[in-house]
Amino acid sequence: MKVRTIAFIRFLIVLLLLLLVVIDTLIINHLQKKLDQITILTTENDSLRKHEGIDLFVPENTPVYPIADYGIVMQAEDNPHFLIETECKRENGVIDTVKVEYGKIVRILYPEGIETLYAHLNKIFVKTGETVTGSTKVGLTGLTGNIRRSGKPSHLHLELRDAENKTFNPKHRLFFHQGSVKNFLKNLKLE
């Protein structure tokens, strides 16, 4: 092969690699934007509050079940105005805590240390300390808590905590580490 031809092929390879880097960067940026959208930041009390779960928009009074075959109810609050302290970022960048009206909630602990928190429930059927199975109806989705003020329709706020008691977005964790959201929702047995 002529020297010029080899040089041209090399040039083409370098061009192709550069193109790949550009495409890769674009894809990463796009994904990053998607992730930012999932971790919704809402303005509340002049602060940026991290939305630490997902909202499942299902018909009001949809039965809610545990996500695993065995669990213990760690907390069951029948108060429609129940408050939970969550992390927020003040306008000056300071990380602070703010109390958010979650409404009626049920918190269940599963064997691997994973916890689910269901919020905005209309009705709860379990008590703190009770053991549950995958088929225990723990409550009905609804409109309690700050939903009315936020203007959002009835939904299930689903929050997950890991063994270190840190909240994580089920969409992030399940998509990237454990499986698909679809599979997760199947396990949630929403009727």
Cα gap 105→139, rounded to integer Å: 9
Residue 119: CB minimum distance to Zn ion, A:
7
The verdict on 49 binding Zn ion (CB under 5 A) reads no
Write down the least CB distance from residue 53 to Zn ion, Å. Answer: 5
**Binding range to Zn ion, per CB under 5 A, among 67-75, 150-158, 168-176, 177-185:** 150-158
CA 140 – CA 122 distance, rounded (Å): 6
44 lies in the site for Zn ion, by CB under 5 A: no
Residue 68 CB, nearest approach to Zn ion (Å): 21
Q: Report the alpha-carbon angle 41-52-58, nearest 5.
A: 95
Nearest distance, CB of residue 155 and Zn ion, angstroms: 7
Looking at the chain, list the stretches that DSSP marks H as alpha helix, in order from N- to C-terminal side: 3-38, 147-150, 170-173, 181-188
SS3 category, 117: strand
Exactly one of 107, 157, 161, 171 binds Zn ion (CB under 5 A); that residue is 157
Q: Could you say whether residue 55 binds Zn ion (CB under 5 A)?
A: yes
Using alpha carbons, list the distances in angstroms from residue 13 to 1, 2, 10, 51, 73: 17, 17, 5, 45, 60
Nearest approach, Cβ of residue 13 and Zn ion (Å): 49
Piece of the chain touching Zn ion by CB under 5 A; list 55-63, 124-132, 164-172, 182-190: 55-63
**120 is a contact residue toward Zn ion (CB under 5 A):** no
Cβ proximity to Zn ion, 11 vs 57, nearer residue: 57
**Contact between 78 and Zn ion per CB under 5 A:** no
Tell me the three state secondary structure of residue 29: helix
Q: Residue 155 CB: number of other CB atoms within 10 A?
A: 20
Q: Which positions lie near Zn ion, rule CB under 5 A?
A: 55, 157
